[in-house]
Amino acid sequence: MGIFTHSTVSRKPNESMRLIVTTFVGIVFGFFIGLSFPTLSLTKLNLSSRVLTTIDFKYTEYKKSGPSSSSSVPPSIGNNGSSVNVTSKIWVPSNPRGAERLPPGIVRAESDLYLRRLWGKPSEDLTSTPKYLVTFTVGYDQRKNIDAAVKKFSENFTILLFHYDGRTTEWDEFEWSKQAIHVSVRRQTKWWYAKRFLHPDIVAPYDYIFIWDEDLGVEHFNAEKYIKLVRKHGLEISQPGLEPNKQLTWQMTKRRDDCEVHKETEERPGWCNRPHLPPCAAFVEIMAPVFSRDAWRCVWHMIQNDLVHGWGLDLALRKCVEPAHEKIGVVDSQWIVHQSLPSLGSQGEAQNGKAPWQGVRERCKKEWTIFQTRFSRAERSYFKEINSTFHRTTN
Ligand SMILES: *[C@@H]1O[C@H](CO)[C@@H](O)[C@H](O)[C@H]1NC(C)=O
Ligand SMILES: *[C@@H]1O[C@H](CO)[C@@H](O)[C@H](O)[C@H]1NC(C)=O
Ligand SMILES: *[C@@H]1O[C@H](CO)[C@@H](O)[C@H](O)[C@H]1NC(C)=O
Ligand SMILES: *[C@@H]1O[C@H](CO)[C@@H](O)[C@H](O)[C@H]1NC(C)=O
């Protein structure tokens, strides 16, 4: 033990420690790349080989300059070199789960989607830090529509495309595509991607997050103006009004001519037993929702990993904000058209003589029932637990 407290000899163990840490990080990194590569082709983040060579290169550089020049040895992890107290251990319960052994100053619990360069000063990488995020789940066939939509979002937006048809490089025909983030996983749904790639800790810098379908007409929509209205009216969860068309839509999400924003409506007789509740208030549809950072943190947790179509989610959104009938609403003066183009539905599979879209539709309905059942069960068991705790403590 004694020799470890001596500063002169402490460098050797540190050096080997550094080696072990570097090797370990390398192995873990390699493992994750190996793990994620066959299933995900993050085409634009096609880093694997490049990153590995970079790490290799850095490591060699580091070895060359490291131990020989004693003056330039950086302080190693966990001690400043002058005195090593091997018995002192770090344990910070308030750190994120699993990171308790780290000094809080080094913990970065949240991330972002900002692109960085591989050279220069890290502090000078970012020329802009967009405050809003918009995601579209897309197939290449809808590129014209998406191109038109993206142009309605200013430079204050990070653009993220989820590709369900595996075609990504073709999108570079659009200039904006080169700055966008592309995630390509075949035949998955919007909510599948959202659950996997929009973790609240990853999208933490964004004030608002748009999670949109690909078949929306945006001629009468401007994203900056939309956000102004959402802020003004205190909407945590919102959507642009829908131009009424042949399709049956909810009264709640239909665009109105006479106001900026509405939060309540009247439905057909018998549909709304109670005001302030869906479908007459406190809900928006799942095709073009916009979430505030806080609302998304809650909604993300509510999304089920296996219920990929998100049916029923719209009616449950109100559980995430309080009071829901004031913080959920529809923006009328920036509105969209739902074009109902065939998209993911046609990516299903023909089974038992049924068309692909039929199988998808059936699954949607099934998922809706499952979601409702799960939710009410969860609520019941929560209240049961609360009640019994209450009785235990009062008796
Ligand atoms: C280095 O460690 C010693 C003993 O723990 C401490 O007194 C000193 O302030 C530390 N120096 C720096 C620069 O952290
Ligand atoms: C090492 O650190 C622990 C915890 O901070 C402290 O209780 C102990 O006295 C220290 N030992 C020495 C030798 O400095
Ligand atoms: C982007 O955001 C900044 C800061 O909020 C604002 O001044 C600017 O007008 C926005 N850009 C557009 C195109 O609205
Ligand atoms: C819990 O207690 C409340 C009031 O005492 C009661 O209305 C409710 O039914 C109870 N719930 C369960 C699941 O026992």
Say if 371 falls within a structural domain: no
What is the C-alpha to C-alpha distance for residues 278 and 271, in angstroms, rounded to an integer?
9
Say if 234 falls within a structural domain: yes
Do both 255 and 149 map to the same domain? yes
Say if 118 falls within a structural domain: no
Do both 91 and 152 map to the same domain? no
Do both 143 and 105 map to the same domain? no
List 217's β-bridge partners, or say none.
337
What is the C-alpha to C-alpha distance for residues 11 and 139, in angstroms, rounded to an integer?
56
Q: Looking at 57, 76, 109, which one is the last position of a domain?
A: 109
What is the C-alpha to C-alpha distance for residues 358 and 350, in angstroms, rounded to an integer?
8
Going by alpha carbons, the residue nearest to atom 3 of ligand 2 is 88
Domain hosting 63: range is 2-109
Which tokens in the block code for residue 320? 């995430």
Mutate which of 5, 7, 87 for ligand 2? The one with the most ligand atoms within 8 Å of its CB, which is: 87
Do both 157 and 262 map to the same domain? yes
Note the pLDDT of residue 148: 97
Ligand 3 closest atom vs CA 224: 14
Do both 169 and 236 map to the same domain? yes
We report the CATH number of the domain holding residue 200 as 3.90.550.10
Going by alpha carbons, the residue nearest to atom 1 of ligand 3 is 156
Do both 163 and 296 map to the same domain? yes
Do both 105 and 136 map to the same domain? no
Beta-carbon count within 10 A of 271 CB: 12
Say if 364 falls within a structural domain: no
User: How many Å lie between the centroid of ligand 1 and the Cα of residue 82?
Assistant: 7
Q: Is 79 in the pocket of ligand 3 (CB under 6 A)?
A: no
- The model's pLDDT over 301-350, given as tens digits with 9 standing for 90+, comes to 999 999 999 999 999 999 999 999 999 999 999 999 998 776 666 666 77
Going by alpha carbons, the residue nearest to atom 10 of ligand 1 is 80
User: How many Å lie between the centroid of ligand 2 and the Cα of residue 89?
Assistant: 9
287 by Cβ neighbours in 10 Å (0-12 / 13-18 / 19+) ranks as: buried
Say if 379 falls within a structural domain: no
Say if 387 falls within a structural domain: no
User: How many Å lie between the centroid of ligand 4 and the Cα of residue 386?
Assistant: 9
Going by alpha carbons, the residue nearest to atom 2 of ligand 2 is 88
Do both 186 and 301 map to the same domain? yes
Q: Is 7 in the pocket of ligand 1 (CB under 6 A)?
A: no
Report which bound ligand comes closest to the CA of 79: 1
Q: Is 156 in the pocket of ligand 3 (CB under 6 A)?
A: yes
Q: Is 80 in the pocket of ligand 1 (CB under 6 A)?
A: yes
Report which bound ligand comes closest to the CA of 376: 4
Ligand 4 closest atom vs CA 388: 14
Q: Global pTM?
A: 0.75
Do both 184 and 333 map to the same domain? yes
Q: Would you put residue 276 in left (φ > 0), alpha (ψ -120 to 50) or beta?
A: left
Do both 101 and 233 map to the same domain? no
Do both 62 and 209 map to the same domain? no
Mutate which of 127, 156, 221, 226 for ligand 3? The one with the most ligand atoms within 8 Å of its CB, which is: 156
Say if 370 falls within a structural domain: no
Note the pLDDT of residue 132: 98
User: How many Å lie between the centroid of ligand 2 and the Cα of residue 5?
Assistant: 11
Say if 270 falls within a structural domain: yes
The residues lining ligand 4, judged by C-beta closer than 6 Å to any ligand atom, are 380, 383-384, 387
Mutate which of 80, 86, 87 for ligand 1? The one with the most ligand atoms within 8 Å of its CB, which is: 80
User: How many Å lie between the centroid of ligand 2 and the Cα of residue 86?
Assistant: 8
User: How many Å lie between the centroid of ligand 3 and the Cα of residue 157?
Assistant: 10
Note the pLDDT of residue 159: 98
- The model's pLDDT over 271-299, given as tens digits with 9 standing for 90+, comes to 888 889 999 999 999 999 999 999 999 99
Do both 190 and 73 map to the same domain? no
Q: Which residues of the chain have pLDDT under 70?
A: 1-87, 246, 248, 342-348, 393-395
Q: Is 224 in the pocket of ligand 3 (CB under 6 A)?
A: yes
User: How many domains is the chain built from?
Assistant: 2
Q: Would you put residue 218 in left (φ > 0), alpha (ψ -120 to 50) or beta?
A: alpha
Note the pLDDT of residue 244: 82
The length of the chain in residues reads 395
